[in-house]
Structure 1
Amino acid sequence: MADTVLTEFGDGVAVITINRPEARNAIDRATAEGIAAAVDELESRSDLVIGILTGAGGTFCSGMDLKAFVRGENPMIRGRGFGGLVERPPTKPLIAAVEGWALAGGFELALSADLIVASRAAKFGIPEVKRGLVAAAGGLLRLPKTLPYQLAMQIALTGEPLSAEDAHRHGLVNIVSEPGAALTDARELAAQIAGNAPLAVRATKQIVAGAVRWTDAEGFAAQGAAVAEVLASQDAQEGARAFAEKRAPRWQGR
């Protein structure tokens, strides 16, 4: 694991921190590889239910490290895209905890998450058009699925930033935190989710994520296998028993 990416695991939650505050957490090759490795660990460990992605030093991520790019580094990971994440987010839920700027590829990393907790002082933007570029790490694809079409188009074409308050008002941000408290609030949200049955959480995320592109008929067909696995699990039996016995369930993830 690169020291530009820090990880913390416990109580069902993986916290992944981009740790390049001197570069406003811009993504170079080592950092992209570190994020990919951290996501792999989140995916592979049965004791982890959910992940949090955040940035050190008061900035979420300022996008691609242009100096590293000029040196010939590529922050795209084959099959995963920018930052080792945008084209293949984890099957488990992911929260972006945003302080300061989530800019360009940094905004696109946040959009790869399922939930966003942002400081009141946070700002989101894809300014690529101002630099003769295109926001090709998922921003142009995901923004219109989250924001009203005209607002998504305005952000994309002007390159101007969106405040956390406006992002929350339009449904892009789940929780607005006081400055410095985004990670704390993200941990609280993650703890709520991590207390639920792991198989059910994963299946539920996949169905909700797929629903934005499925017709109803496609959705019912696609969710069948995921739901069948959950219903056949020991956790489904445990949930029913715990409810009947008026006690907290003891999930096993199987």
Structure 2
Amino acid sequence: MTGPVLSEVSDGVGVITLDRPEAKNAIDKATAEAMVAVLDDFAERDDVAVLVLTGAGSTFCAGMDLKAFARGETPAIPGRGLAGLTEAPPAKPLIAAVEGWALAGGFELALSADLIVAARDARFGIPEVKRGLVAAGGGVLRLPKALPYHRAMELALTGDPMGAEEAHRFGLVTTLTEPGGALEGARALAARIAVNGPLAVQVTKRLVAGAVRWTDPEAVAHQRTLTDPVFRSADALEGARAFAEKRAPVWTGR
């Protein structure tokens, strides 16, 4: 398969690769649509028991393509969220294999996964507030369930990043690898899951996720009533334009 999202299957593991390295694998509308096609294909395939999501090049994903956003594009799929993933994770287990940066929506894609394997020098962050936006792809909902409240709040309000080793100490990252080894580590973890009964694995995932309300439709709906006005605001457009023009934003609070 060619395009902004690549896919391959081996030994029961389906690997999804964001393939826009020139844009740090940022998500635009075309990438989101391609992701949905791959996710739907893997959902139906009996030879795929576990999914792995990774990014081409040195970055996992830089999040929403702000240049595309400034042009009026959205990378969210109705009812499914960012890249067709954040509001409707697959029934099969999903492992994020993170090299380099997982920023903004990129971190939210990783948080949508059930397990995260990361290189020791990987970095995570939700810097949306720096662009006048809100991490509405699950970041502000899932992060406080994965980290202590005050550390999650600090990351969300400052937009500053967290290193993989700290994320591992908190349990957010399941497995640390040496740089360049995240995909191999994720494949090894996926293989340990893929040998188990597929129906049992899927129901177990559903029960564990449900126990902590990892994907909570009511919370997502409530979030949308608060965040939609922010995304339509003048500040949101200014933040995206400032990023594209490589300058500091000028906020108006409107």
Scaled by the length of structure 2, what TM-score is found? 0.82
Residue 213 of structure 1, CA deviation: 3.5
Q: Which residue of 2 aligns with 1:148?
A: 148
Q: Which residue of 2 aligns with 1:47?
A: 47
Matched, 1:74 2:74: yes
| Alignment check: 8 A CA contact 1:25 1:55 kept | yes
Residue 57 of structure 1, CA deviation: 0.3
RMSD: 1.2
| Alignment check: 8 A CA contact 1:59 1:102 kept | yes
Q: Distance in 1 between matches of 2:12 and 2:213?
A: 29
Read off the aligned partner of 1:76 and give its amino acid letter: A
- Worse-matched range after superposition: 95-104 or 27-36: 27-36
Matched, 1:208 2:208: yes
Unaligned runs of 5+ in 1: 215-254
Matched, 1:119 2:119: yes
Q: Distance in 2 between matches of 1:32 and 1:25?
A: 11
**Partner of 2:48: helix, strand, or coil?**
coil
Read off the aligned partner of 1:129 and give its amino acid letter: V
Residue 148 of structure 1, CA deviation: 0.7
Residue 78 of structure 1, CA deviation: 1.1
Q: Which residue of 2 aligns with 1:130?
A: 130
Q: Which residue of 2 aligns with 1:240?
A: none
Q: Which residue of 2 aligns with 1:89?
A: 89
Unaligned runs of 5+ in 2: 215-254
Residue 72 of structure 1, CA deviation: 2.3
Q: Which residue of 2 aligns with 1:250?
A: none
Read off the aligned partner of 1:117 and give its amino acid letter: V
Q: Which residue of 1 aligns with 2:165?
A: 165
Q: Which residue of 1 aligns with 2:178?
A: 178
Q: Distance in 2 between matches of 1:163 and 1:98?
A: 12
Larger radius of gyration: 1
**Partner of 2:46: helix, strand, or coil?**
coil
The alignment of Structure 1 onto Structure 2 pairs a total of residues equal to 214
Q: Distance in 2 between matches of 1:151 and 1:195?
A: 36
Read off the aligned partner of 2:18 and give its amino acid letter: I
Residue 170 of structure 1, CA deviation: 0.4
Q: Distance in 2 between matches of 1:129 and 1:143?
A: 15
Q: Which residue of 2 aligns with 1:9?
A: 9
**Partner of 2:6: helix, strand, or coil?**
strand
Residue 53 of structure 1, CA deviation: 0.3
Read off the aligned partner of 1:19 and give its amino acid letter: D
Residue 2 of structure 1, CA deviation: 5.9
Q: Distance in 1 between matches of 2:116 and 2:142?
A: 14
**Partner of 2:51: helix, strand, or coil?**
strand
**Partner of 1:15: helix, strand, or coil?**
strand
Read off the aligned partner of 2:141 and give its amino acid letter: L
1:20-42 per-residue CA deviation (whole Å, 9 max, x = no partner) reads 00000000111111111111112
Name the structure, 1 or 2, with higher relative contact order (CA <8 Å, separation 6+).
Answer: 2
- What percentage of aligned pairs have identical amino acids? 69
Read off the aligned partner of 2:115 and give its amino acid letter: L
Stretches of 4+ moved more than 6 A in 1? none
Q: Which residue of 2 aligns with 1:197?
A: 197
Read off the aligned partner of 1:26 and give its amino acid letter: A
Q: Distance in 1 between matches of 2:74 and 2:133?
A: 16
Read off the aligned partner of 2:59 and give its amino acid letter: T
Q: Distance in 1 between matches of 2:137 and 2:66?
A: 15
